A and B are shown apart, each in its own frame.
Chain A
Amino acid sequence: MPASRSSSPYDYASDREWAGTRGYPLFFMYIKPRNLLRVALGLLIIVAGLAFCIWYSRNGSDPTPDSLVGLIYAVLGTVFLLLAGLLYSLHRRSRKSKKVIGGLRSALGWHMFFGLTGLALIFYHSFGNFNPRSGTYALYGLIALVISGIIGRSLDRIMPRLIAKEASKALTQEGEDRIEAISQQLQAIVEHNMQRVRGLTPSPASASPAISAAPERGGSAGRGRTLHGPWDLAYLTLEETPQELSRYEQSYRLVPDRKSPLSRPGALLPGAQEQMAALQAVEHAMRREQFYRYVIRYWRIFHILLALVTAGLVIWHLEYAASLVIPTLFH
């Protein structure tokens, strides 16, 4: 793409090559051929497993969780879930695997594939028998874990878009900090209004004759000047003291008429209320942005904690199943 087209951050070309690059929909999906293959393989395993489970439940000799078929389902499901848990974590932590762009995304895809198919296989392993408490709790844990994963994946799609929306509110069209821009505007308004108020105070030339004449009469007894009193401390001057001068001075205080538009609150600060409202809106947007970031982060932590709890429940169930199966194998 020629660089000459990029005159502004919002300048987009309309070529077909660049079509579909505008906008940020809330729901979107990109399916690549290799992802389709994974989805098809997962569906095949789930449907084939279900079909066999139904057939075996009707025609099989022993459709129970501890039968040979039930144990095959259990082993396959456990292996799949182990792969789901370990593959992605190891891939992410492994330095070597990071050397391929898109490798982690692929590992995440397999994580979801093994999680969903593993849950289905474990569900078929139960053959509708939910009497053993340990197995039922482990299954519930797995269902909750997979659901939390699906919700988390959806949040990963939705929340960043909401964050972008809120961040967009906190930035100006040029991408600068909106709070700073509003603060500068407020400062300009305040300064402008201070100048207006200052404009209402009389200039020395237009002051009352009493005030303008006072320094002449008082000599050096003007405001801010020291009194040069006579040498005789008992001498009482008849000239005005600074206190008397300030008493004569007219103070100009704006008291607008009740019907005047100036009597409305904020009338002296035109635009200030709007700026304050905009400032509050930006602050709310930033708070929401932070909340969305918290949701993404803590949902991931919740998913990991749920995985640990489920792993404990599965181990509990395996220990219970081993106490039943191992004596049968030896006798």
Chain B
Amino acid sequence: MRNPVLLHKTASQVQQELEACIGCNECLLACPALDEPLTIDVLNRETFGGPISAPVARFARSCYQCGACVPPCPVGLHRDAMMMWLKIRLYRSGEED
């Protein structure tokens, strides 16, 4: 069993991972939290910056950081860390309100 680690990454690390994503959708196919059709390019576009659409926000809130998305990634990226960044953005937007 893998050891739990602090998964939150900095914005620059998240951006690097987003740039390295090849858009194969494997992480989304392995996700037990995603309940509606969502494409990886939309998710990637909205993860780092800009407005967050309702489906992406719902997905970000539903993600429970199980890590099922990490092993299928062919380039070894951490989608859970990217989702955490999205969660942080949502959390901060709520704090601003």
- Residues of A near any B CB (own CB < 8 A): 1, 3, 5-6, 8-13, 17-25, 28, 30, 32, 35, 92, 98-108, 156-157, 159-161, 163-165, 167-168, 170-171, 174-177, 286, 289-290, 293-294, 296-297, 300
Asked whether B52 is an interface residue with its Cβ less than 8 Å from the other chain, the reply is yes
Name 14 extra pairs, CB < 8 A, besides A13-B51, A101-B34, A156-B64: A3-B50, A11-B50, A12-B51, A18-B51, A18-B52, A24-B61, A32-B36, A160-B65, A160-B87, A164-B84, A175-B14, A289-B6, A290-B6, A293-B7
Contacts of B28 in A (CB 8 A): 101
Q: Tell yes or no: B62 within 8 A of A by CB.
A: yes
B29 within 8 A of A: yes
> What are 11 A-B interface contacts by the 8 Å CB criterion?
A3-B50, A18-B51, A22-B52, A24-B91, A92-B32, A104-B34, A161-B61, A163-B8, A167-B84, A174-B11, A175-B85
- Smallest Cβ distance from B58 to chain A, in angstroms? 6
Contact of B51 among A21, A105, A297, A300 (CB under 8 A): A21
Contacting pair A10 B89 (CB below 8 A): yes
CA distance A71 to B14 in the complex (A): 56
A159 to B65, CA, bound (A): 9
Cβ A102 vs Cβ B10 within 8 A: no
Most interface-central of A18, A101, A300 (chain B CB within 10 A): A101
**1/0 per position for B1-28, CB-CB distance to A under 8 A?**
0001011101110100000000001001
Q: Across the interface, do A20 and B54 meet the contact criterion of CB distance under 8 Å?
A: yes
CA distance A168 to B90 in the complex (A): 10
Query: How many residues of chain B are within 8 Å of chain A by beta carbon?
Result: 52
CA distance A54 to B66 in the complex (A): 42
When chains A and B are docked, how far (Å) is the Cα of A164 from the Cα of B94? 12
Interface flag for B70 (CB, 8 Å): no
Residue of B36, B45, B65 touching A293 (CB-CB under 8 A):
B65
Indicate whether A157 sits within 8 Å of B64 (C-beta atoms), given known contacts A98-B30, A290-B4.
yes
Contacting pair A164 B88 (CB below 8 A) = yes
Q: How far is the CA of A8 from the CA of B50 in the complex (A)?
A: 6
Given the contacts A105-B33, A161-B91, A294-B4, A176 and B50 also touching, CB distance less than 8 Å: no
Known A23-B97, A161-B87, A167-B8; judge A32-B35 contact (CB<8 A).
Answer: yes
A135 to chain B, nearest CB (A): 33
Contact, CB under 8 Å: A8 / B88: no
Q: How far is B54's CA from A12's CA once the two chains are assembled, in angstroms?
A: 12
Question: Which of B64, B85, B93 has a CB less than 8 Å from the CB of A22?
Answer: B93
B35: contacting residue among A1, A105, A286, CB under 8 A: A105
A6 in complex: contacting residue of B35, B49, B65, B97, CB < 8 Å: B49
Partner of B29, one of A99, A157, A176: A99
* B94 contact from A25, A106, A156, A159, Cβ within 8 A: A25
Cβ of A293 and Cβ of B4 under 8 Å apart?
A: yes
Given contact pairs A3-B50, A21-B54, A160 touches B63 in the complex (Cβ within 8 A): yes
Q: Is the CB of A296 within 8 A of B93?
A: no
